[in-house]
Chains A and B, each alone.
Chain A
Amino acid sequence: MSEAQRNLPPVTVETRPFWEACRDGRLLLQQCRGCGHRQFYPRLVCSQCLGRELDWIEACGRGQVESFTIMRQAISPAYRNDLPYVVAIIRLAEGPTMLSNVIDCDPEALQIGMDVELRWATVTDEITLPKFGPA
């Protein structure tokens, strides 16, 4: 199955800097200049104080498995060769959570609370997805 049939993020003017950084192997978060809040996904405003002065910061790439599931049935033929694959919520060291895949591991050995670190998965010339593997 061609990679092109995978679900690709529809990049917007709001998220372009994020996805461009992913292509360069950097996971960006936003940090509020007013209150210091760090957030993912990218937003126009700080979701804590609604401040508009946000700086991009690079995440250290470490996190923990907040929860996970092992997919036994693919959502489309493009994902079938990945079975069984892990869909997880990762709590980043900086605080925010994100959905991702945990790869390079035995899914059966995965546990909530496990330390993970960034792994980059190139999908197309434009899109590289931040994924995670055992730390």
Chain B
Amino acid sequence: MSSLRARTAIVAAADTKVGAVPEMSATQLCVDAACRAIEAAGIGKEQVDGLLTCNAMAEPYMYHAEMIAEYLQIFPRYCMSIGAGGGTTFALVHHAATAIANGLCDTVLIATADAMRSGLSKERAFALMSSAGHPQFESPYGPSIPAFYALIAQAHMHAYGTTPEQLAAVAVNARDYASRNPAAQKREPITIDDVLASRMIADPLHVLDCSLVSDGGAAIILTSAERARDFPGEPVYLLGAGEGHSHEHISQARSLTTSAAVESGQRAYTMAGLGPRDIDVAELYDCFTPVLLIELEDLGFCDKGAAGEFVLAGELGPGGSLPTNTHGGLLAHCHPGNPGSMFSLTEAVRQLRGESCNQVAGAEVALAHAQGGIMSSHATLILGTEATR
């Protein structure tokens, strides 16, 4: 197959209300996101001939994408739900672009939502919290999901001298951007001392090193570059996409400190014909503070082991060399589970259209990266404006 570079474009992106949204179910949030994207695209629902979703933990269906199609009475020729944890969103985009480029469909609606904050039954929430990891070889030892990421953080600190202050700086950056984003769930600015003084969950991770638990949904519409010009919104082109998958369980990882973001990033850069220095704004997966440090290194934005200093120096902030998570990320904007990185994608679209509430002046190229599981599945997207095609 010839390269996917600039073969497809995002023509609409939309978020639902996020945070605590008890008045809506997970399915309603997904449908709300879908309808907002269809409206933003200025098309009728009958023009959607591809539908991709991810299942919702709060309201799962055996065939989730078919359920959403049925609910909206649309009849796609390409229809699938994908589960790759937090990496789902960008894997969905990668699959959708491949499908469009190969003629399987023309216009794909990608809609994801969950209600992790308001929609889980007590029993389900308890089960999720109390049974993390491999059922035979991890879970009996009583680990939590934060603990798995704490193992990664400790290894990074040991190998490279990364400090708790540097981890905290990631959370401070997210809140700073969120403080200027009226849609964000947590908008009060915080300091490094606030993070370090917050309750310890699993050393070295404090509660403020951990992302939020949220309700929310987001959707985009992807179509071929040729058709994209017929839509009212400014097209945002998919210049590069790449994935890397290395393990499921952290105790079986090849490395605790270097991830498959190396591979996913290289694949996306190669397709785009671009490198880390060409990126104007980044939206990176920040479910826990150490994750963002490892992504900065593995995606080539700084040397291995240097991400802590990079963040502490303010490089991710407004005016820094790599403004990152300009909506507030999973740490401050919202994190409704598997759909979390959809909000990075919709923010990247806003940045490239000049519509972000933390607009990076002249942003032409954005990189969005997500990972799912425990640094298990990685997907990187590089997006660009008309000028970058």
Write the residues of chain A forming the contact surface with B, with a CB cutoff of 8 angstroms.
Answer: 6-12, 15, 40-41, 66-76, 79, 82, 85, 87-89, 97-101, 112-113, 123, 127, 129, 131
Contact = CB atoms under 8 A, between A and B. Distances in A.
A75 B203 CA distance: 15
Contact of B130 (A7, A12, A101): A7
Listed from nearest, the 8 A-B pairs whose CB atoms lie closest are A69-B150, A9-B136, A99-B251, A76-B130, A67-B155, A79-B142, A67-B151, A112-B158
Interface string B194-218: 0000011111110000000000000
B135 interface: yes
A66 B137 contact: no
Interface residues of B, number: 36
B146 to A, nearest CB: 8
Interface centre among B131, B134, B200, B202 (most CB of A within 10 A): B202
Contact of A71 (B142, B152, B204): B142
Interface of B: 126, 129-144, 147, 150-152, 154-155, 158, 199-205, 249-252, 256
Contacts of A12: 136
B147 to A, nearest CB: 5
Given A69-B202, A76-B142, A112-B155, 14 more contacts: A9-B139, A10-B136, A67-B154, A68-B154, A72-B203, A75-B132, A75-B144, A76-B130, A79-B142, A87-B202, A97-B252, A98-B251, A101-B141, A123-B140
Contacts of B204: 69
Contacts of A41: 134, 136-137, 252
Contacts of B139: 7, 9
A99 B155 contact: no
Contact of B144 (A9, A10, A73, A82): A73
Contacts, number: 108
Contact of B151 (A15, A79, A89): A89
19 contacts: A6-B140, A6-B142, A7-B140, A40-B137, A68-B154, A69-B147, A69-B151, A69-B154, A71-B144, A72-B200, A72-B202, A73-B144, A74-B142, A87-B142, A87-B143, A89-B251, A99-B143, A100-B141, A129-B140
A71 B147 contact: yes
Nearest to A131: B141
User: Which DSSP category, helix, strand, loop or mixed, fits chain B's interface?
Assistant: mixed
Contacts of A85: 142
B199 A72 contact: yes
B194 to A, nearest CB: 18
A2 to B, nearest CB: 15
B252 A70 contact: no
A107 to B, nearest CB: 8
Contacts of B151: 67-69, 87-89
A127 B134 CA distance: 16
Contacts of A79: 142
Nearest to A8: B140
B136 A11 contact: yes
A67 B134 CA distance: 17
Nearest to A12: B136
Contact of B137 (A67, A98, A123): A98
A67 B152 contact: yes
Given A71-B202, A89-B251, A112 B140 contact: no
A30 B154 CA distance: 29
A8 B142 CA distance: 10
Contacts of B135: 7, 9-10
